[in-house]
């Protein structure tokens, strides 16, 4: 009888051991399986993929930066060239792009990384930044900066001709990416990315010549002949995965074709959604008269409104992104 009890206990122990071993194996596989962690980033909260409104607009396949591997199709070029009535053809454009990559990186290093939380502050030029005291909060986004697109990035502050000196308390001290086009170009330090938003072939030619021989062409306003910036940190916002331009993607999908074309500020915001995990937005919105006034200057044209852009609709989209908790929007004033 005793021996039978011992055998029973032994068999019971073996059974328990087998069950525990199999469970440990299951847990181990769950922990180390590449399919277990489905989170797209290492943040506490990433850009929502459960929001229907957002997923109808956000296209994960978009490749926003021009590269030797990702360039405009001829059909996409035809839409893009109509923005500023570009007269030269696709062959000329393609030759210009080939020449471009003799000077600048052919493959921008913008790979997503699931083991980092990339927090970005997108900083516009709105007058509502005056007296906001957002500077420390803005700088918090990149105070642990390692490489600009791997952990934290800040756009810009200031799109185009915006500046930080003298306004640090409201807009912060650092810039990792400065969004511009030739007519709004400013010199940058050696650590800041020059993010060019081109509207015509001449903008690409300007980029090449401003870093080499000097640009001498004409435009609708004076253009810098030379620019100081790190050529290895140049990024060109133009491509969308062979099917269209980034500008058209933003215009058609995000703005529902409202306005003639999107503002550089709104394109910078959508760009941030594609390369960041958490996005905070500062310095966007018109003044009480409906004008896009700037915090760093007194607006002379009191009838400016928002130019050729659908400024009201852009602002509504930003507010919707905030309402849906996709971004954090700081309105100022």
- The whole-number pLDDT of residue 136 equals 87
- The whole-number pLDDT of residue 108 equals 80
To the query of whether residue 249 is one of the catalytic residues in this protein, the response is: no
Q: Which residue has the tokens 């021009």?
A: 66
Give whole-number Cα distances, 316 to 47, 52, 225, 319, 326, in Å: 19, 17, 38, 5, 14
Longest dimension (CA), the chain: 105
Residue 230, marked binder? no
Which of the listed CATH numbers 3.50.50.60, 1.10.10.1800, 3.90.1480.20, 3.40.190.10 matches domain 52-330?
3.90.1480.20
- The whole-number pLDDT of residue 296 equals 66
- The whole-number pLDDT of residue 71 equals 80
Give whole-number Cα distances, 172 to 130, 137, 156, 166, 252, in Å: 12, 8, 10, 10, 33
Contact 133, 295 (CB under 8 A): no
- The whole-number pLDDT of residue 152 equals 34
Beta strand 239-240 with 234-236 is unpaired
Annotated catalytic residue: which of 193, 274, 309, 315? 309
Residue 325, marked binder? no
Residue 285, marked binder? yes
SS (H, E, C) the chain: CHHHHHHHHHHHHHHHHHHHHHHHHHHHHHHHCCCCCCCCCCCCCCCCCCCHHHHCCCCCCCCCECCCCCCCCHHHHHHHHCCCCCCCCHHHHHHHHHHHCCCCCCCCCCCCCCCCCCEEEEECCEHHHCCCCCHHHHHHCCCCCCCCCCCEEEECCCCCCCCCCCCHHHHCCCCCEEEECHHHCCCCCCCCEEEECCCCHHHHHHHHHHHCCCCCCCCCCCCCCCCCCCHHHEEEECEECCCEEHHHHHHHHHCCCCCCCCCHHHHHHHHHHHHCCEEEEECCCCCCCCCCCECCCCCCCCCCCCCCCCHHHHHHHHHHHHHCCCCEEECCC
Contact 248, 79 (CB under 8 A): yes
Residue 160, marked binder? yes
Residue 125, marked binder? yes
Residue 265, marked binder? yes
Residue 276: which region, alpha, beta or left (left: phi > 0; alpha: psi -120 to 50)? Answer: beta
To the query of whether residue 181 is one of the catalytic residues in this protein, the response is: no
Residue 313, marked binder? no
- The whole-number pLDDT of residue 60 equals 87
Q: Which residues contact 230 (CB under 8 A, 6 or more apart)?
A: 188, 190, 191, 192, 193, 194
Q: Taking the CA atoms of 45, 47, 49 and 50 in sequence, report the sign of the dihedral they define.
A: positive
Annotated catalytic residue: which of 134, 181, 249, 261? 261
What are the extents of the domains in the chain? 1-38, 52-330
Per-residue pLDDT 10s for the chain (333 aa) are 545 445 444 444 444 433 333 333 333 323 323 333 455 567 777 777 789 999 999 998 888 999 988 888 898 999 999 988 899 999 999 999 999 999 999 988 664 555 677 888 898 888 778 888 888 888 877 422 222 222 334 444 344 445 667 788 888 888 888 889 999 898 999 988 999 999 999 999 999 999 999 999 888 888 999 999 999 999 999 987 656 799 999 999 999 999 888 988 899 999 999 888 888 999 887 777 777 767 766 666 666 666 677 888 899 999 999 999 999 999 876
């Amino acid at each position: 009888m005793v021996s039978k009890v011992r055998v029973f206990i032994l068999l019971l122990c073996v059974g328990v051991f087998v069950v525990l071993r199999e469970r440990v194996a299951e847990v181990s596989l769950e922990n180390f399986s590449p399919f277990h962690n489905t989170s797209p980033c290492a943040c506490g909260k990433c850009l929502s993929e459960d929001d229907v409104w957002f997923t109808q607009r956000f296209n994960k396949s978009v490749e926003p930066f021009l590269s030797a591997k990702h360039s405009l199709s001829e059909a996409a070029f035809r839409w893009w060239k109509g923005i500023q009535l570009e007269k030269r053809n696709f062959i000329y454009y393609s030759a210009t792009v080939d020449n471009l990559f003799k000077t600048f990186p052919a493959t921008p290093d913008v790979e997503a990384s699931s083991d980092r939380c990339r927090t970005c502050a997108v900083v516009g030029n709105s007058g509502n930044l005056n007296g906001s005291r957002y500077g420390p909060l803005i700088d918090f986004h990149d105070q642990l900066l390692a490489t600009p697109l791997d952990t934290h990035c800040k756009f810009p502050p200031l799109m185009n001709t915006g500046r930080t000196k003298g306004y640090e308390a409201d807009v912060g001290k650092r810039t990792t990416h400065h969004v511009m086009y030739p007519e709004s170009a400013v010199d940058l330090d050696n650590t800041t990315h020059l993010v060019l938003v081109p509207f015509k072939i001449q903008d690409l030619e300007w980029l090449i010549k401003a870093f080499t021989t000097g640009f001498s062409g004409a435009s609708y306003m004076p253009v810098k002949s030379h620019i100081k910036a790190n050529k290895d940190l140049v990024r060109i916002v133009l491509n969308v995965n062979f099917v269209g331009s980034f500008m058209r993607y933003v215009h058609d999908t995000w703005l529902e074709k409202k306005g003639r074309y999107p503002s550089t500020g709104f394109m910078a915001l959508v760009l941030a959604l594609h390369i960041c995990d958490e996005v905070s937005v500062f310095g966007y919105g018109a003044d009480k008269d409906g004008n896009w006034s700037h915090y760093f200057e007194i607006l002379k044209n009191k009838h400016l409104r928002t130019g050729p852009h659908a400024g009201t609709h852009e602002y509504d989209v930003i507010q919707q992104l905030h309402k849906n908790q996709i971004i954090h929007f700081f309105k100022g004033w």
